[in-house]
Amino acid sequence: NFLSFLILLTFVVALQAAYPPASASSPSFSGLELLTGAGYFTHSLLYYGYYSNVTLNDPCASVPDGSACLLAAPQLPYNMPLAYVFSVGVSFLVTCILLVYSVFCSFRESYRVGSSAKDLAIKVFCTWDFKVIQRRSVKLQCENICTQLKELLAELRSRPHSRSLCQCLAHYTVVLLAWVLTLSSVLGCVLAVHYLSEHMHMGSGRWQQEATLLVLPLVVSLFNALMPHLYNCLAKWEKQDHPVTQVHVAMCRNLILKTGILGLLCYQWLSRNVVCSKEECWETCVGQDLYRFVVMDFIFTLLDTLFRELVWRLILEKKKQRRPEFDIARNVLELIYGQTLTWLGVLFAPLLLAVQTLKLLLLFYIKKTSLMRNCQSPSKPWQASHMSSVFISLLCFPSFLSAAIFLSYTIWSVQPSESCGPFRGLETIYTSVKSSVLVLEKSNSNITWFIWVYQHLMENTFILFYVSVAVLAVIYVNVQVLKGHQRVIRLLKERINNEGEDKRFLIQKLHSVYEQRER
């Protein structure tokens, strides 16, 4: 987020602030804008509609239409539409590279082969690093080994047990009913969001307008806060054979809920079905919607952390002399949901990245304090490296890939607003990019490298296709190499076991020969 924000700040936001456009007077700041993102913030650097569609350093840009301009054009014009779309594209490219690298690293760290019993013996006898001498490092290593032993012991205790035919039928019936309830609840939530978005109308008074703007984010945040508890109860009711399976099922259900709601919202945003006044860009209204969703998600996360975890701790300490467990899966999925909202809003609200960065910093310290004071470690065997690879994969493929597809469709196929924004009056955003590149090529012949990059990356789709195929091929090769290593390690372990059996057989033969000689 911070790297992407720096890119947009350097090439778009700061330069537009240095060359502000002539815009209508903004209303006074009342404080409600921090929740709604409207009012004073509407005509500001926060949203798409504020940015101009001219060459910033062109002295003729401010000359009225029809008037003659005698000043010379700049040698290297800074075209705001071109800078806007390329900054968004570069920020997404940097994010993609970092995510793919993180996926590779997490797969490498989560590489683990062997049975739990043998891993437990290895952890007990061979884990300690005798080179560690500092007291803090020794304490940290003790806690790390303790956590790993708890994970392995919990995995050993949760081995699947055999079921009779009737028990299997009953179990699969419960699983089927749980999934029916899950899909029904997801469908109900999506229909409720659709009904609210279709029947919301702006009130006459200012307070009614502000309340109307907050209804949809409030309802969506309520669904995201309450439904995971239902899915956790359903996962416990199913009584899965392995606790990790229970965690994965709950994560899958939460992911289906969030994907369904965000998919509906994206469809409505692309259809321009947003609560918006006539003088505003629909892109600005989409940016305001995403800002409200991010802020409301932050507020609900704070309320859940400060009140639910605290109150639940007080109740459990009084009744059962223990603390509530920290739900890692739900909290990480909430982070992925908030990050998805931010990626969806980069084109419509460039400063939303700064809001998300500040939000994550505050949440880190608040969650850390609440975790230490109100919660205990989960009893489920997490295997941190494996779960980390799962979460990073979810962040990369469903989250980032969906946001990239959404923005790509917006750039190539959706018509921008006619009255405001850097791409006003054009058929698509991509049309502005093509015309701006042609103007840039005519004005300065020393930047042929930029034209070459544009022609081979933007206009030539085969390059993007080959790059995508190469990335997928690298991922596939890495997965196959890991599987090959796993097979080799299993064969070596079988060979060690066979050699142990051979030695045991030879020892028995020696004992029998020795006994025969004594007789």
Q: How many percent of the chain have pLDDT more than 90?
A: 27
Which residue reads 């005798």 in tokens?
A: 130
**Highest mean pLDDT pick, 117-121, 139-143, 383-387, 506-510:** 506-510
Tokens in use for 121?
């013996």
* 189 burial via Cβ count (<10 Å: 0-12, 13-18, 19+): buried
pLDDT digits (tens, 9 = 90+) for 157-171: 666 667 778 888 888
The total of other beta-carbon atoms located within 10 Å of residue 97's CB is 11
pLDDT value at position 292?
94
- 3-state percent breakdown (helix, strand, coil) of the chain, nearest 5: 75, 0, 25
Q: For the ranges 176-180, 357-361, 421-425, which has the lowest average pLDDT?
A: 421-425
Cα–Cα distance for residue pair 498/446, rounded to 1 Å: 71
Cα–Cα distance for residue pair 356/331, rounded to 1 Å: 16
Whether pLDDT at 50 is above 70: yes
The answer to whether 489 touches 118, Cβ cutoff 8 Å, is no
Cα–Cα distance for residue pair 316/376, rounded to 1 Å: 11
Give the pLDDT band of residue 345 (cuts 50, 70, 90).
very high
Give the pLDDT band of residue 406 (cuts 50, 70, 90).
very high
Whether pLDDT at 54 is above 70: yes
pLDDT value at position 164?
78
pLDDT digits (tens, 9 = 90+) for 275-303: 666 667 889 999 999 999 999 999 999 99
Whether pLDDT at 446 is above 70: no
pLDDT digits (tens, 9 = 90+) for 83-113: 899 899 999 989 988 988 888 777 766 655 4
User: In degrees, to the nearest 5, what angle opens at C-alpha 391 toward C-alphas 118 and 402?
Assistant: 145
Tokens in use for 279?
């003088």
Whether pLDDT at 114 is above 70: no
pLDDT value at position 266?
93
Whether pLDDT at 176 is above 90: yes
pLDDT value at position 79?
81
Whether pLDDT at 258 is above 90: yes
pLDDT value at position 373?
86
pLDDT digits (tens, 9 = 90+) for 414-435: 889 888 888 888 888 888 877 7
Q: How many percent of the chain have pLDDT more than 70?
A: 79
Q: The dihedral of CA 134, 135, 139, 145: what is its sign?
A: positive
pLDDT value at position 113?
46
Cα–Cα distance for residue pair 282/49, rounded to 1 Å: 9
Mean pLDDT of the chain: 81
